[in-house]
Chain A
Amino acid sequence: MGLLYGLIAVGLALIFGLMDVVNFAHGEFLMLAMYASFFLFAFFAIDPLLAAPLVAAALFVFGAVVYLLIVRFAVRAKANTGMVQIFSTFGLAIVMRGVAQFFFTPDYRSVTHPWLGGKTISIGGIFLPQPQLIGAAVAMAAFGGLYFFINRTDFGRALEATREDAGAVALVGIDKNRVFALGWGLGAALVGLAGAIMSIFFYIYPDVGASFALIAYVTVALGGFGSVFGAFAGGIIVGLVEATTALILPPSLKSVGIYAVYLLVVFVRPRGLFGSM
């Protein structure tokens, strides 16, 4: 479960953590990805596992378009950039929920009989559900890929440089909008991956994103802004803490542990575990 949170958080880590742009519609991106995966299954009988790359590609386009149509202007705002980002993406989240209700109705849906649904695998006597295991593997791969991407490629360096000083990068010929649009696309694609895998074992409804989004923000902040590895570590900690809390407290209180750990960490270390800002 922890790696799953990590997988949702990794896209956010790129947008929120590395580009320092707030995206309050992150949960709605996830919701969209889950619906995309559901409809691919329902109409074309494509298993969510195979659909994952398709969904990721679709979300890539969506993320880039959202950046170009909305976020580009929010980042450019002369006053209150932070609040404008929060509320323009919050507005977007409301619109997306509305659109989902309009086209998909508020009904709960689920992917029936996917390949891996309900299958378990036994490792050393411990039974693990296969979909979650795949999710964990994908999460690890996504983090590894992103880490490599940010630290070893020109694009990754361009992205970080653009956040640091957009004016200076313009001087060396980097187009801020292009870099950030690609960054948003990539972030959204990672959420797409997460959504496709989660559609295997979660119900899908218009408000599904909200509960995951909050935990994703906490995960990114816990790990510290500006650090991919931080978000990864944050995801694992969040998963472990949630599982431990669920043993002690009633299940409805399981998130309390996550939130308490976040507060503890930032009170001791105000920039998160591995944050650079």
Chain B
Amino acid sequence: MDTDFANRRRRDLIVAFCLAAIAAVVPLFVKDVYVQNIMVLTLMYGALSQSWNILSGYCGQISLGHALYFGLGAYTTTILFTKFGVLPWFGMIGGGLISAVIAMALGYPCFRLRGHYFAIATIVIAEIALLLIQNWEWAGAALGITIPMSSDSWLKFQFARSKLPYFYFALGLVCVAWFVTWWLEDSKWGYWWRAVKDNPEAAESLGVVVFNSKMGAAAVSAFLTAVGGAFYAQFVSYIDPESVMGFHFSLLMALPAVLGGIGTLWGPMLGAVILIPVTELTRSFIGGSGRGVDLIVYGGLIIAISLARPQGLVSLFTPKRKEATR
């Protein structure tokens, strides 16, 4: 079984490498800006969902307030850049670190909570942050902040005409998030997390420090989410509290992982590849009427997938493998 597992991991790595390579050449052939835009969003949601999956999927701590970290990332970069002239590259890392620290500070009291109490606490904390930012004049309040565009530059990571640099950055982010997950899956942390998810008491009795493993998962997850937020801010060059920190967004971030397969390596990416294009296409083709047909289709799709495949779409690909490992 050990070799089976090692084989599987090696195969996962090879498949991921091939997929990334294929993805990297796609925009050279697909020049349509609209399609490229969808691809960037798909990659971004894939990365976000992958990060969310680390805390909520592997470690089992269902967070419905990840918009907090996304917003923190977006706001840190934007404020550092617009008010202090700090380049977004540093802002991204800074935002990530701030989010990780805040995730641990919040985790300290929150990880005592179980189940619904925990999930609602995460919602409530994100909501408090949202309200505070909406009322913080210096940080743009409810109107948000526009990032001034100058010229195309890698240094400032802004490009007015081409979507390609964003595409490659998002692709890189997905690869990093995927690789971190892949690597953690077989590390002692990965095993701890799954133990904590399945049975915290038993894990504790076997010497897993449950609290610390939750903190670790929260920090990694928050860091990656915040980098995603910083990227989003640069990508759309305008942020406002509701769009980067709203409750709705927390759910959107979790959705690809849930539909694709929660707590799995490929689930979040698979979910994003299916969900995001469908969302965007329905929005632009039938949402124009403003009469909500796109919402009906989109919501119906979510209901259908989540009921038909509770264990996630990724299970469609793995029935044989499951039996083999048993």
- Interface status of A218 (Cβ within 8 A of chain B): yes
Interface residues on chain A, size class = 35 or more
Contact A271–B296 (Cβ < 8 Å): no
Q: Per-residue 0/1 for A101-116: is the Cβ within 8 Å of any B Cβ (1 yes, 0 no)?
A: 1100110000000000
Contacting residues of chain B (230-265) with chain A, CB-CB under 8 angstroms: 247, 251, 254-255, 258-259, 262
List residues of chain A with CB within 8 A of the CB of B319: none
- Interface status of B290 (Cβ within 8 A of chain A): yes
- Interface status of A74 (Cβ within 8 A of chain B): yes
Q: In the complex, what's the smallest C-beta–C-beta distance from A94 to chain B, in angstroms?
A: 3
- Interface status of A272 (Cβ within 8 A of chain B): yes
Contacting residues of chain B (159-208) with chain A, CB-CB under 8 angstroms: none
List residues of chain A with CB within 8 A of the CB of B262: 80, 83
- Interface status of A77 (Cβ within 8 A of chain B): yes
The answer to whether residues A252 and B131 also contact, given A98-B299, A106-B290, A270-B113 and a CB cut-off of 8 A, is: yes
List residues of chain B with CB within 8 A of the CB of A79: 310-312
Q: In the complex, what's the smallest C-beta–C-beta distance from B206 to chain A, in angstroms?
A: 23
Q: In the complex, what's the smallest C-beta–C-beta distance from A228 to chain B, in angstroms?
A: 17
- Interface status of B24 (Cβ within 8 A of chain A): no
A259 nearest in chain B by CB position: B124
Q: Per-residue 0/1 for A56-98: is the Cβ within 8 Å of any B Cβ (1 yes, 0 no)?
A: 0000000000000010011001111111101110111111111
Contact B307–A252 (Cβ < 8 Å): no
The answer to whether residues A225 and B116 also contact, given A98-B299, A252-B134 and a CB cut-off of 8 A, is: yes
- Interface status of B291 (Cβ within 8 A of chain A): yes
CA distance A82 to B121 in the complex (A): 16
List residues of chain B with CB within 8 A of the CB of A250: 135
Contacting residues of chain A (209-268) with chain B, CB-CB under 8 angstroms: 210, 214, 217-218, 221, 225, 250, 252-253, 255-256, 259-260, 262-263, 266-267
The answer to whether residues A82 and B62 also contact, given A214-B247, A259-B127, A267-B112 and a CB cut-off of 8 A, is: yes
List residues of chain B with CB within 8 A of the CB of A106: 290
CA distance A77 to B303 in the complex (A): 13
List residues of chain B with CB within 8 A of the CB of A82: 62, 115
Contact A88–B307 (Cβ < 8 Å): yes
Q: In the complex, what's the smallest C-beta–C-beta distance from A247 to chain B, in angstroms?
A: 16
Q: In the complex, what's the smallest C-beta–C-beta distance from B183 to chain A, in angstroms?
A: 24
List residues of chain A with CB within 8 A of the CB of B255: 87
Other-chain contact of B128, A84, A94, A102, A260 (Cβ < 8 Å) = A260
Contact A221–B135 (Cβ < 8 Å): no
Other-chain contact of B298, A94, A259, A267 (Cβ < 8 Å) = A94
- Interface status of B23 (Cβ within 8 A of chain A): no
- Interface status of A99 (Cβ within 8 A of chain B): yes
Q: In the complex, what's the smallest C-beta–C-beta distance from A21 to chain B, in angstroms?
A: 11
The 3 closest A-B pairs by CB, nearest first: A98-B295, A101-B292, A94-B299
Chosen A-B contacts, 17 in total, with CB atoms closer than 8 Å, are A77-B310, A79-B311, A80-B311, A84-B307, A91-B299, A94-B295, A98-B294, A101-B292, A106-B290, A206-B292, A217-B120, A255-B127, A256-B131, A256-B132, A259-B125, A263-B124, A270-B112
Residues of B that sit less than 8 Å from A by CB: 62, 64, 109, 112-117, 120-121, 123-125, 127-128, 131-132, 134-135, 247, 251, 254-255, 258-259, 262, 290-303, 306-307, 310-312
